[in-house]
Structure 1
Amino acid sequence: MTETQPAIRLTALTKEFGAVTAVDHVDLEIAAGEFFSMLGPSGSGKTTVLRLIAGFEQPTGGTVELFGQDVTKRAPFDRDVNTVFQDYALFPHMSVLDNVAYGLRVRGLGRKERNERALRALASVRLEQMAGRKPSQLSGGQRQRVALARATVVQPKVLLLDEPLGALDLKLREQMQVELKEIQRELGITFIFVTHDQEEALTLSDRIAVFNDGRIEQLGTPAELYERPRSRFVADFVGTSNLFDVERSRTILGRDGHHSVRPEKMTVSRGGLDQPGVVDVPGTVVEAIYLGSGVRLVVDLDDGTRVSVLEQNDRDRMHDDERGDRVVVSWHEDDVVPLGIEALPGISG
C-alpha cells in the first residue's frame, strides 16, 4: 500500500435485481482519510453501493478494492470495514462499555485490554462518563455516538455510515453533523456516508457523489456541486435552483440551452439595479415567506416564469415585500450556470 493508494476503488460496479439495474457500471475512487458522501433520492443506487462495499450484497459485475486488495468476493467479516446504521442496533441489556467492547470480545481480546480500548473509544466521542449506563438511559444523540464508538473501536480502515442521523430531530441532527466531522478528523479514518439530505452532505463532506438511476450524475466538492452543477438533476436536487429551459433561456437570458440561477444570487428591488452585466426583469410578488434568517420571495416574471429569490434578513434589507407588489428581479450574468444536454425533461422556471 502506498500513500496515494485509494481507500476504495470501484470498477464498473453493477448490481441487478431481476430486470432492475440498481447500480449501473459505477467507477469511483475514494481517498484514504476522506469524508465522502453518496447523495441521492430513494432508489438512486447509493445505499446499494454502500452494501456492495460492505459485502452485504454481491455485485452482478465489476470489482470492489480496499486499499488495493480485491475484496469483491470476500464475506463482510473478512473486509476491514465497519458499518453504522440508522437504528444503532445497540444491545439493550448491556452497558455502554460492553456494547462498545463487544466487537473486541468477538475478536478474542481479554477483558482488561478490550475495556481499556472501549473507554478510549468512548472518550473520542466524549462519552466515557456514560460507560456504566444502559442504552435506554441515553439520549438519541448519545446512542448515536455510542454506535460510532463501537464501530471505530476495532479500528477499521473504512467506516460506512448508512443515514445514521436520520432518526434524530433537526437541532440534534445539526449538532451531530458538527461532532461527526470532528470525530472523523480526529480518527483519520475514511468515512463513506450515505444520505438523501443535501444540506447534510454539503455540511460534512470533502467530496460528494450525486447518484441518479444507478449512476453517478456528478462528483465533486460541495462548492463545485452547488456553484457549478452540470445537469438539471443536480441543480434541482442539491439545494434550490431557478431552472430555465431552452425557450426561457433564450428569451430571458439571451442564451441557448438549459441554465440555472440560485435564489440567493437574485435580488429584488423597486426599480432594478441598472448595472453592467446585470439582468433586470420586472415581475409581481406571489408569496413572501419569512424564514427567520431570511425571506424567500416567489415572483412571477412578466413572461410567466416563476422564480424564487432568497434575501438575507439583515439591516440592508430596506423594504418589506407583500403579495401583489410590483418588483424588479436582478441577477449578475456570471451567476447563470449552463446545464448539460443530459438535463432531465420538463420545464421549470
Structure 2
Amino acid sequence: MTDQTANTRTDAAAPAIRLRGLTKQFSAVHGAITAVDHVDLEIAPGEFFSMLGPSGSGKTTVLRLIAGFERPTSGTIELFGQDVTGKAPFDRDVNTVFQDYALFPHMSVLDNVAYGLRVRGVGRKERRERAAKALAGVRLENMADRKPSQLSGGQRQRVALARATVVQPKVLLLDEPLGALDLKLREQMQVELKQIQRDLGITFIFVTHDQEEALTLSDRIAVFNAGRIEQLGSPRDLYERPASRFVADFVGTSNLFDAERSGSLIGREGEHTIRPEKLSLSSEPRMGDGLRSAPGTVVETIYVGSGIRRVIDLDAGLRVTVLERNDRSRSEETDRGDRVHVSWHDEDVVALIPPGT
C-alpha cells in the first residue's frame, strides 16, 4: 500500500469538515457584532452540503472561515481530521467558486482552467492535459480555444468550476455561484452542478439564500438564523418536518397556526404548521378518519402554471393558502367570494418547537 493510499484512507475516516464552537465577532461602534455564534457542524466526505439562510444569517461568514479568508474569534476548523484554524487560505486543500466567476478575459478557456496548475509549478504538457480533462468533465472540451467573452453565462460558470476542480481540492466551496444567472439557466445549471459533483466525488459546500435551489441540490442542508444553525437535515426532513416557525416560514410556503388557532382548529396545544399542498377544498365539510375541516371564504385565486394557489380566510380568523395541482383531480372552479371548506389530515400537521427549547 502506498503512502498516498494510506493518507487517503485516513482522511476518508474523518469528516471532510468539522467545526467546533465556531464563533466570529466583528467590531462595531456600539460593541461587537456576533456573525457566527458557537456553530458545531460535521460534513461528510463526498457530500453536497448547503448552508441556507437570509442575508446576515451567518452562512457566508462560515464559508469564509472555512476558506481561511476570515479568522474565527473562537472555535476550531478541521479539514479531514487536520486542524486548519490558523492556516492561510493557500495552505488549505479547498477551493472557492464565487458568483462573479473571475475569469481572465485575455486568456483562452483552456489557459484559464490551467492557471491554478501553472501557479503550482505543474509542467505545461501535464497542466494542459489535466485542464482538457477538467473541461471534458463539464462538457466544454470543444470550447478550449475560446475567450470567456465568447461564452454564455452558464458556460462561464462551468469554466469556473473546471478551474476550481482541476487542482483536485478535497473540498469545493461555492458562494452563491448561480445568483447572477437568469431563472431558466439557473435551473439548468442546478442539474449540471449536481451531476458534476457526483462525477468528481468532491465535497461541495454550497451557500445560498434560495430555498428551492438548496432543496434541489443538497444531500443535507443547514438552515442558518442569527449566526446559529436553526435546523440541520435532509431536504425532505426540512420541508416535511420543520422544527421551528422560522424554518417553516423560510423553507417553502407554510400555513402557521398560533397556539390559539391550534387549539380551536387542530385540537392540539402549541404552534403548528401545514404545507399548502396538504390542504384540499370542498363545498361540504369532510370529517372522520383523522380528517378535519374548517369553513372559509376565497379571497384570491392565483394561477401558477403547474398549480392553482387559493387564499382562504377561515371563519376562525386565520388566512391560509391552498395549493391545488393543475389537473383533473383538483376541485371545481372557485371564485373570489365563494364559500368553501378547507380540509386536512391530522398526520400532515407538524408541531413547531418554540425558540430556545
Task: Give, in whole Å, the separation in 2 of the partners of 1:62 and 1:236.
Answer: 30
Task: Give, in whole Å, the separation in 2 of the partners of 1:68 and 1:3.
Answer: 9
Deviation, 1:271, is 0.9
Task: Give, in whole Å, the separation in 1 of the partners of 2:58 and 2:77.
Answer: 16
Q: Is the 8 A contact 2:11 2:81 kept in 1?
A: no
Task: Give, in whole Å, the separation in 1 of the partners of 2:288 and 2:163.
Answer: 58
Deviation, 1:272, is 2.7
- Post-superposition Cα deviations, 1:39-93, rounded to whole Å, max 9, x if no partner, equal 0000000000000000000000000000000000000000000000000000011
Amino acid in the other structure paired with 1:125: V
Deviation, 1:148, is 0.2
Query: TM (normalized to structure 1)?
Result: 0.97
- Post-superposition Cα deviations, 1:261-301, rounded to whole Å, max 9, x if no partner, equal 00000001111323321111000000000011000000000
| 1:115-134 → structure 2 map (5 Å cutoff) | 115-134=128-147
Task: Give, in whole Å, the separation in 1 of the partners of 2:122 and 2:13.
Answer: 32
2:23 to 1, 10, 14: 14
**Residue of structure 2 in register with 1:226 after alignment:** 239
| 1:117-266 → structure 2 map (5 Å cutoff) | 117-266=130-279
Amino acid in the other structure paired with 2:214: A
Task: Give, in whole Å, the separation in 2 of the partners of 1:343 and 1:266.
Answer: 30
1:303 and 1:343, CA in 2 relative to 1: closer, same or farther beyond 3 A? Answer: farther
Task: Give, in whole Å, the separation in 2 of the partners of 1:27 and 1:312.
Answer: 40
RMSD: 1.1
Is 1:310 matched with 2:319? no
**Residue of structure 1 in register with 2:283 after alignment:** 270
- Segments of structure 1 that go 5 or more residues without pairing to the other structure are 345-349
Amino acid in the other structure paired with 2:149: S
Amino acid in the other structure paired with 2:97: V
2:97 to 57, 81, 84: 84
- Post-superposition Cα deviations, 1:159-205, rounded to whole Å, max 9, x if no partner, equal 00000000000000000000000000000000000000000000000
Moved more, 232-241 or 318-327: 318-327
Task: Give, in whole Å, the separation in 2 of the partners of 1:334 and 1:222.
Answer: 19
Q: Is the 8 A contact 2:16 2:171 kept in 1?
A: yes
Look up the SS of the partner of 1:91 in the other structure: coil
Q: Taking every aligned residue pair, what percent have the same amino acid on both sides?
A: 78
Task: Give, in whole Å, the separation in 1 of the partners of 2:187 and 2:25.
Answer: 35
Task: Give, in whole Å, the separation in 2 of the partners of 1:67 and 1:170.
Answer: 35
**Residue of structure 2 in register with 1:34 after alignment:** 47
- Segments of structure 2 that go 5 or more residues without pairing to the other structure are 1-9
Is 1:279 matched with 2:288? no
Look up the SS of the partner of 1:230 in the other structure: coil
Amino acid in the other structure paired with 1:48: T
Deviation, 1:316, is 1.7
Task: Give, in whole Å, the separation in 1 of the partners of 2:148 and 2:192.
Answer: 19
**Residue of structure 1 in register with 2:72 after alignment:** 59
- Post-superposition Cα deviations, 1:83-106, rounded to whole Å, max 9, x if no partner, equal 000000000110000000000000
Q: Is the 8 A contact 2:44 2:203 kept in 1?
A: yes
Amino acid in the other structure paired with 2:221: I
Amino acid in the other structure paired with 1:5: A
Deviation, 1:317, is 2.1
Deviation, 1:4, is 3.0
Task: Give, in whole Å, the separation in 2 of the partners of 1:341 and 1:201.
Answer: 24
Q: Is the 8 A contact 1:6 1:32 kept in 2?
A: yes
Q: Is the 8 A contact 1:231 1:343 kept in 2?
A: no
2:355 to 335, 342, 347: 342
Amino acid in the other structure paired with 1:32: P
Deviation, 1:2, is 4.9
Look up the SS of the partner of 1:176 in the other structure: helix
Deviation, 1:251, is 1.2
1:73 to 62, 70, 86: 86
Query: TM (normalized to structure 2)?
Result: 0.95
Q: Is the 8 A contact 2:311 2:320 kept in 1?
A: yes
Deviation, 1:12, is 0.2
Look up the SS of the partner of 1:239 in the other structure: coil
Deviation, 1:343, is 8.1
Q: Number of paired residues?
A: 344
2:108 to 95, 99, 103: 95
Task: Give, in whole Å, the separation in 2 of the partners of 1:318 and 1:66.
Answer: 53
**Residue of structure 2 in register with 1:106 after alignment:** 119
Look up the SS of the partner of 1:122 in the other structure: helix
